[in-house]
Structure 1
């Protein structure tokens, strides 16, 4: 899909916070981009009052054009100090990162009372919607305002993702996984949580939208599970040349037992070392991780 770097920007003239919404960091995850296009079209039509500004930023534009996860390397693994200080991009994704940085620099902290971010993603397997949050600053408190599962610790294991970078800049926020790639439900879930974020961060009265966004009620009442908090207890990482095949039938949050067969890695059986829930099972050709195991807090 074709998209501008800045998908949209909206404010009604009042000072206040900034809400940055990033989407399409992976090129095979366009639903957040589609959701933002719908939302900015509605905002420009209705022109509701808000405090501050909401901005939508597209991630891997070249990969979005080709509907692939990435071109040369994973854009959500390269936000490291070394790459950020590199004046000469070495890959398509490093060029994208530089361009995203240029867009972000247009919204400095001195211009806003507070800055929030929401990074939109989808999963290769069918999944309930959930939040992935790094437990730093006031991220977890902010995530607690939204009615869905919350998974802590992903950014502590996976270095170089954009939400880790944004948190390091003092911006409060989280990643939202809306559902399976390309699904209509994922688009609706992204619309729902973005509208809620605009409401909670910028004071939007949702009834001021002419076509009241039903996706908000569907997200809160139908699509999102009751809020629970999970911690990551195991990561099964992969190397680029590895042969990995997940056993069929797993979805995010599927319960697993210790000793249960989960996958084959270079023709060797991989069994769970924990009682818990599967998280991010890999059912696509490209990826740095085969799966994670998570446990509910208190269990």
Structure 2
């Protein structure tokens, strides 16, 4: 087992946001009264990832006001978050099932019940209304922050527009279920609605909380939802050139005995095809091609979970140079 990183941050008290004027508890509506898109920022899809909650709390305390359209801030899996314990921080990712694998119409409209499904059904009308979504997450490893932009060009376009973090991952999600960022119009190439999922850093690090707030502000400013950083918050730095990783393979575990060949943290490059990446029980996992990039390795996984994504750096007009 990989040692658990320390809990460096204090999860905020979000009780003041239970009644946010949307009719959905812990979703807060901020309406400019002017024409413009509906921008949705979500945190706590996983109850043990407090960086997004810290960011949304900071925005509320800074008296965020949209310049155009409507901004909604949403704390998603509040029931799991309420049980967060710094002494056992891995335990409250969810209560019954992973809330970021439920966002398929057939699942949401089916007969199954769980606390996460009930909550997803409750917030679904707000998600349906949103034109742009930023879903704030964090990672198991202390690794470089990532934008997960999905597979369609509109996701990459939105990532370019926001400009931070610097590494953009184009991917198809998970075999085990659809993420919030891939739901409905966000995952439809024929629709304009677009979404980003941002992995801000290690779950309980100060850096993840700082990245979550910086990314939220960049998203709001560069989509035109606000016209200035609220007073009291740190001004944004100029965006740096981005680089794009295209996911070519997703490794979903077939056993409970997955191990890596090295202490991968993410964005390592295996120069040659066939280089050892890990083992799934007795089955070797090898680099499928030259220049294979390790993306979001998860060192403590069970059967049926995503252990790692594999990809390659690619060139994209105006985004990075395709090099490590």
Conserved in 2, the CA contact under 8 Å of 1:246 and 1:282? no
Structure 1 window deviating more from structure 2 (115-124 vs 261-270): it is 261-270
Asked if residue 75 in structure 1 is aligned to residue 99 in structure 2, the reply is: yes
Distance 1:238 1:232 in 2: 17
Report how far residue 175 of structure 1 moved.
0.9
Q: Which residue of 2 aligns with 1:28?
A: 48
Asked if residue 189 in structure 1 is aligned to residue 211 in structure 2, the reply is: yes
Q: TM-score, normalised by structure 2?
A: 0.77
Q: Which residue of 2 aligns with 1:259?
A: 274
Aligned mate of 1:200, from 206, 222, 226: 222
Conserved in 1, the CA contact under 8 Å of 2:151 and 2:172? no
Conserved in 1, the CA contact under 8 Å of 2:46 and 2:98? yes
Report how far residue 293 of structure 1 moved.
0.9
Report how far residue 184 of structure 1 moved.
1.1
Change (3 A) 1:81 1:204: closer
Aligned mate of 1:175, from 172, 180, 197: 197
Conserved in 2, the CA contact under 8 Å of 1:134 and 1:156? no
Distance 1:273 1:26 in 2: 31
Report how far residue 289 of structure 1 moved.
0.8
Change (3 A) 1:102 1:178: same
Q: Which residue of 2 aligns with 1:249?
A: 263
Structure 1 window deviating more from structure 2 (158-167 vs 27-36): it is 158-167
In the alignment of these two chains, the number of paired residues is 280
Report how far residue 292 of structure 1 moved.
1.1
1:190-232 Cα shifts (integer Å, max 9, x gaps) = 111111111122352325x222424x32xx56xxx73011111
Q: Which runs of 5+ in 1 are unaligned?
A: 110-114
- What is the Cα-based RMSD across aligned positions, in Å? 2.6
Pairwise mapping of residues 140-179 of structure 1 onto structure 2 (< 5 A)? Answer: 140-145=156-161, 146-147=163-164, 148-155=166-173, 159-166=177-184, 167-168=186-187, 170=191, 171-179=193-201
Distance 2:241 2:31 in 1: 32
Change (3 A) 1:49 1:98: closer
Report how far residue 285 of structure 1 moved.
4.7
Asked if residue 58 in structure 1 is aligned to residue 55 in structure 2, the reply is: no
Distance 1:285 1:69 in 2: 13
Conserved in 2, the CA contact under 8 Å of 1:22 and 1:58? yes
Conserved in 2, the CA contact under 8 Å of 1:133 and 1:155? no
1:23-81 Cα shifts (integer Å, max 9, x gaps) = 1111221211111111121125xxx5610111111222222223322222211112223
Aligned mate of 2:232, from 211, 225, 250: 211
Change (3 A) 1:205 1:159: same
Aligned mate of 1:233, from 244, 248, 255: 248
Q: TM-score, normalised by structure 1?
A: 0.83
